[in-house]
């Protein structure tokens, strides 16, 4: 029996506390006893020498310690400490079944010295005739006696270190998109042609846009990272009235995928008679004609290419039908807004450090949206 396989089995069952050091031996409960200095298949990347079993067990039982504290504790116990480069390799093997240990085969054969000619296993007992149901049962029992369980059903389901929450949220978003678009069918050319109502709405922005009755306005934000307002921090700015840099929000997500749509709640919009929900998106190419009919505002990047393939004749046509905002730091150079000043866009200035000034800036956005929405209600 390989001691590392037994150690991994105890870790999977949560029984590491049942492993004790007894003199020069390591006792795995009442099941197994191994010499503490027995070499294992866990070898050092630097020297190539195998770690003794005592080092592997001590790391498994104290992997929650900081590495400096771990080294000190191992020296006090006179146990060879595991180096930092080897630590992660062994813990991956211990927790997730990764068999990439140096000099280790997939099943981690025991590193104890073996006889050159090990005795063969005893043959299965045979009945007098050597065949029949009794012989099959005896053979099965013989095979099972040689089996070594590596994982039980609980260990197979263990997924420590894996985050499935992001997958769950992505599945919910796909289902919402499917329900929202189930009535939309592509044309013969493979592109979604605008309906008559959508075409009329694009031609006249004040036609067929009434809050309620399923109409949810859309706010577009740039997907570029160099802009101040993105889909990552738009809710903080417009709902909580606090500007949080996009890179901080991305780090807080810890690898979760970028949301495709963010919903904002505005409690009071003049003329709407109650709370209004706004959708925020950053992928204009994914919008269908009916979605373009719901676009009411856009945060601009200050670049003409942002409006490529938009269903408008140019930025003059865009900002006659959609309200535009450009958010900048108040101490930015004048050249940063040079192009934007030629457009019908509201410039919103915020401070880099004075967060108490974020609220007036966000309310200025909502005031302009209120005026625009009131004009289409």
Q: Answer with the one of 32, 67, 96 that is the final residue of a domain.
A: 96
pLDDT > 80? residue 101 = no
Q: Are strands 25-28 and 19-22 parallel, antiparallel or unpaired?
A: antiparallel
Least confidently predicted of 104-118, 162-176, 316-330 = 104-118
365 and 222 within one domain: yes
Q: Answer with the one of 96, 123, 140 that is the final residue of a domain.
A: 96
Tell me whether residue 159 is in a domain: no
pLDDT digits (tens, 9 = 90+) for 228-248: 999 999 999 998 899 999 888
DSSP SS3 for 153:
helix
Q: Answer with the one of 38, 68, 96 that is the final residue of a domain.
A: 96
Which residues have CB under 8 Å from 313's CB, separation 6+? none
Tell me whether residue 248 is in a domain: yes
Listing DSSP states for 256-314 in one string gives PPPPS-EEEEES--TTTSS-EEEEEES-GGG--HHHHTTEEEEE--S-GGGGTT-SSSS
DSSP state of 364: H
224 and 75 within one domain: no
368 and 234 within one domain: yes
Label residue 158 left, alpha or beta by phi (over 0 means left) and psi (-120 to 50 means alpha): beta
pLDDT at 253: 82
pLDDT digits (tens, 9 = 90+) for 129-168: 555 566 677 778 888 777 766 666 766 666 555 556 667 7
Q: Pick the residue with more confidence: 212 or 58?
A: 58
Q: Looking at the DSSP assignment, which residues form a beta bridge with residue 21?
A: 26
Which structural domain range is residue 363 located in?
Answer: 218-376
Q: What is the CATH number of the domain that holds 331?
A: 3.40.50.11990
Tell me whether residue 241 is in a domain: yes
Tell me whether residue 371 is in a domain: yes
| Domain total of the chain | 2
Tell me whether residue 28 is in a domain: yes
Q: How far apart are CA 166 and CA 168, in angstroms?
A: 5
85 and 224 within one domain: no
Tell me whether residue 183 is in a domain: no
Tell me whether residue 81 is in a domain: yes
230 and 371 within one domain: yes
Tell me whether residue 136 is in a domain: no
For residue 262, CA distances in Å to 65, 219, 243, 278, 284 come to 40, 10, 16, 8, 14
């Amino acid at each position: 029996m390989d001691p590392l396989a037994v150690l991994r089995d105890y870790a999977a069952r949560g029984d590491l506390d049942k492993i004790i050091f007894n003199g020069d031996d390591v006792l795995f409960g009442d099941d197994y006893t191994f010499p503490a200095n027995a070499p294992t298949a866990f070898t050092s990347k630097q020297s190539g020498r195998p770690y003794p079993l005592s080092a592997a067990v001590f790391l498994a039982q104290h992997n929650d310690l900081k590495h400096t504290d771990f080294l000190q504790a191992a020296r006090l116990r006179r146990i060879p400490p595991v180096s930092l480069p080897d630590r992660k390799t062994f813990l991956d093997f211990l927790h997730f079944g990764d068999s990439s240990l140096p000099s280790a085969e997939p099943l981690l054969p025991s590193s104890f010295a073996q006889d050159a000619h090990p005795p063969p296993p005893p043959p299965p007992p045979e009945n007098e005739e050597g065949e029949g149901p009794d012989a099959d049962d005896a053979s099965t029992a013989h095979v099972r006696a040689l089996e070594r369980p590596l994982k039980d059903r609980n260990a197979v389901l263990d997924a420590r270190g894996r985050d499935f929450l992001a997958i769950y949220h992505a599945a919910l978003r796909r289902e919402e998109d499917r329900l929202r678009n189930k009535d939309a069918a592509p044309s013969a050319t493979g592109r979604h042609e605008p309906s008559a109502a959508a075409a009329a709405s694009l031609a006249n922005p004040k036609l067929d846009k009434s809050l309620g009755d399923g109409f949810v306005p859309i706010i577009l934000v740039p997907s570029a990272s160099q802009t101040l307002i993105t889909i990552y921090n738009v809710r903080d700015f417009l709902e909580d009235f606090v500007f949080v840099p996009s890179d901080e929000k991305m780090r807080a997500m810890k690898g979760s995928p970028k949301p495709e749509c963010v919903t904002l709640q505005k409690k009071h919009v003049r003329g709407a008679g109650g709370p209004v929900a706004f959708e925020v998106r950053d992928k204009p190419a994914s919008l269908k004609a009916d979605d373009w009919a719901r676009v009411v505002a856009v945060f601009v990047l200050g670049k003409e290419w942002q409006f490529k393939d938009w269903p408008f004749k140019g930025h003059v046509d865009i900002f006659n039908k959609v309200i535009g905002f450009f958010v900048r730091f108040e101490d930015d150079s004048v050249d940063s807004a040079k192009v934007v000043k030629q457009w019908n866009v509201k410039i919103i200035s915020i401070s880099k450090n004075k967060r108490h000034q974020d609220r007036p800036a966000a309310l200025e956005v909502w005031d302009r949206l209120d005026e625009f929405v009131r004009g289409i209600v």
